[in-house]
Amino acid sequence: MATAYRLWEILERARTGRFMDEDDFLPKRFTPTLKKLIKQYEIKYDPKNPCPSDDAMADRIWQAAWDLFRDVGYYNTDSHRIIEVTDAEIKEALYMANDQYWVGGGKDARLWKHRTVEDKTPPFCIMSPDITVDEKYHQSMCMAYLKEPLLDGLCGPILEETFGHLIESGGPSEISGCIQHIYNQKMAARLLGRPGTFMVAVGTAEHDSGQIAVSDDNWGVQKTDSRLVGSLTEFKTADTLLNRALHYAQYGCFTGNLTGAIYGGWCGGSEGTAVTTVAYSLIGLMIHGAIYNQHFPFHLNYCSNTTRELLWAISMAGQAMARNSKLLYTSNGFANAGPMTEMLFRETAVHAMVSTVSGWHLWEMASARNKYRNRATPLEARLGIEAGHAVANQGMSRAEVNEIANRLLATYEDHAVDAPMGSEYQECYDVAKAVPTQEHLDMYRRIKDEIAALGVKFPY
C-alpha cells in the first residue's frame, strides 16, 4: 500500500467514534483486554531464552495483537473518541501493504524490503543518536554518522537551541530549529558525497507546525525521505499527531510510525509488551498510513531495552510480524550505558543480533537511556550494525544467537541500574574531522574481537 489507508474514513472516526473518558480508557479498556488475550493465547515469557525459537508462540502473539487492536481501538485524546476498525479492514490493509520500497534518491537510493525469521539478507540500517546535542556539534555529529558505510538512512540528532534561542514547541524558534536541523543534515550528506541519503527528519519538531515547515523538495525534507508520527502510550493519539499523518500523506513522503510500548506500565510484563508492539504495527499501517514502524519498547524503570525481559519481547514481536505479515519495521536499541564504555558496545551488539535474527531491521543506537545531551556516537551504532550484518551473512539461527546473547548478558545485565554514563560526543570524537579518537576506536576494536571470539563472523 503506497498510500494512506482510507485516510478520510479513519480521520472521521477520530471525531465521531465511540466516546469514552480518557481516565477510563487504559484501566477499563486497554489493560483488561490485553490481560485477557495473554491468558487466552497462552503467551508466556521465558527468562532463559532472550531470543526464543518458538514459532507457535510467535503466531499466537500475532493473533493476540490483531485482537487487541480490533477490540480496543485507538484513542484520540482531543475528541475523547475511539477509532475502531474491523477484521475485514485489517485484512484489506495488510493485503494492500507493500513488502518493499526504494527510499532515498539517485545513486544513494536503497531498497528496503520485508525480512523473515533467520533471514540471510542483511537488515536495512538506520543510524540515529536519538539524543539532543549542542548546536555547535550538530552538523559534526550528522557528518560522523553519514561517514558510516553501512548506514542506509539517518535520523539526525535533536536541537534544543537555534541561534542561541531555546526552542519552544509551536513557536517561531521551533520552525527555525527545524529548518536548521534539516539544513545541517542535508549539507552534511552533500559534503560527504551522499546527497541522496535517506533521511528520517526532523526530530527537533515537537509540534506539527515544525514538521510542515520543512517540507520542501529543494532544500528540506524531500519526498524520498521519511517522517515519523508518534503514539501516546498506550494506544493514544491527538490531533497534532493526526495532522502530521495527513500532511505526510498529502505531501508524498514516506511515513513511519513511532512507538514505545512500556514494560512495567499499562502493558504489564514481557508478554504484554510484545503483543502491544505488534499491535502498534497494525495501528501504524491503518491509522497513520505508515510504510514502516519504528519500535522502541522499553523498561519503565531502566528506560532501556537491552536486558533479557525486553530482548524477549523484541525477539517475539519481530518473529510474530515476520511470520504473519509483509510489513517493514525497525528495532530501536535503547542502552543503559553511555558512549566509550565496554558495556554500551556489548549492549548494542546483543540488541542488534537478537533483532536481526528475529526478522527486524535495525535502528541503532540510543545510548545512556536516551536522556543525556551529547551522549551518543556512531561507533556503537557501527558495531551493532556490523553484528547484524554478520548474523545475516553467516545464516545464524535463533538458538545460536540466544547462546551468544546469554553469554554477553552475563557481562552487563547486573549493571542496568548503575550503568556507566560514559563520555560526551566531543570527548570521544574529533569534532572538526568527525572521526573517533584513537582511545574510542581501540575500545571498539577490542570488544569487536571479543564478540568475534564467540562465533560472530564479522564481514570485515
Distances (CA, A) of 337 to 186, 298, 314: 30, 14, 19
Q: What percent of the chain has pLDDT over 90?
A: 97
pLDDT tens digits along 238-256 = 999 999 999 999 999 999 9
Is the pLDDT at 319 greater than 90? The verdict is yes
Range 35-54 average pLDDT:
98
Is the pLDDT at 80 greater than 80? The verdict is yes
Q: What percent of the chain has pLDDT over 70?
A: 100
Is the pLDDT at 296 greater than 70? The verdict is yes
- Residue labelled with grid coordinates 537555534: 162
pLDDT level of residue 42 (50, 70, 90 thresholds):
very high
pLDDT tens digits along 406-443 = 999 999 999 999 999 999 999 999 999 999 999 999 99
The Cα 40–Cα 34 span in angstroms is 10
The Cα 348–Cα 387 span in angstroms is 9
pLDDT tens digits along 377-388 = 999 999 999 999
Size (the chain), residues: 460
Q: Is the peptide bond before 350 cis (omega within 30 degrees of 0)?
A: no
Topology at the third CATH level for domain 100-136+234-452: TIM Barrel (3.20.20)
pLDDT level of residue 1 (50, 70, 90 thresholds):
low
The Cα 215–Cα 182 span in angstroms is 10
Mean pLDDT for the chain?
97
The Cα 315–Cα 9 span in angstroms is 34
Q: Return the half-sphere exposure (C-beta side, CA atoms, 13 A cut-off) of residue 309.
A: 19
Closest CA to 317 of 355, 344, 289: 355
Distances (CA, A) of 415 to 71, 192, 269, 424: 39, 38, 20, 20
Range 121-150 average pLDDT:
97
Find the Cα–Cα–Cα–Cα dihedral 310, 315, 318, 319, rounded to 10°: -150
Is the pLDDT at 18 greater than 80? The verdict is yes
Q: Could you state, in order of their start, the residue ranges of all structural domains in the chain?
A: 100-136+234-452
Q: In the prediction, which pLDDT does 2 show?
A: 64
pLDDT tens digits along 193-203 = 999 999 999 99
The Cα 261–Cα 231 span in angstroms is 10
Supply 434's cell numbers: 568527525
Is the pLDDT at 25 greater than 70? The verdict is yes
The Cα 203–Cα 93 span in angstroms is 28
pLDDT level of residue 4 (50, 70, 90 thresholds):
confident
DSSP annotation string for 372-402: STT---HHHHHHHHHHHHHHHHTT--HHHHH
Amino acid identity at 45 = Y
Q: In the prediction, which pLDDT does 205 show?
A: 93
Query: Across-strand partners of 226?
Result: 200, 254
DSSP annotation string for 143-169: HHHHT-TT-SEE-PPEESEETTEEP-T
Q: Helix 308-324 and helix 342-357: axis angle, to 10°?
A: 30
DSSP annotation string for 267-296: T-SHHHHHHHHHHHHHHHHHHS--SEEEE-
Range 199-214 average pLDDT:
94
Q: In the prediction, which pLDDT does 3 show?
A: 74
Is the pLDDT at 190 greater than 70? The verdict is yes
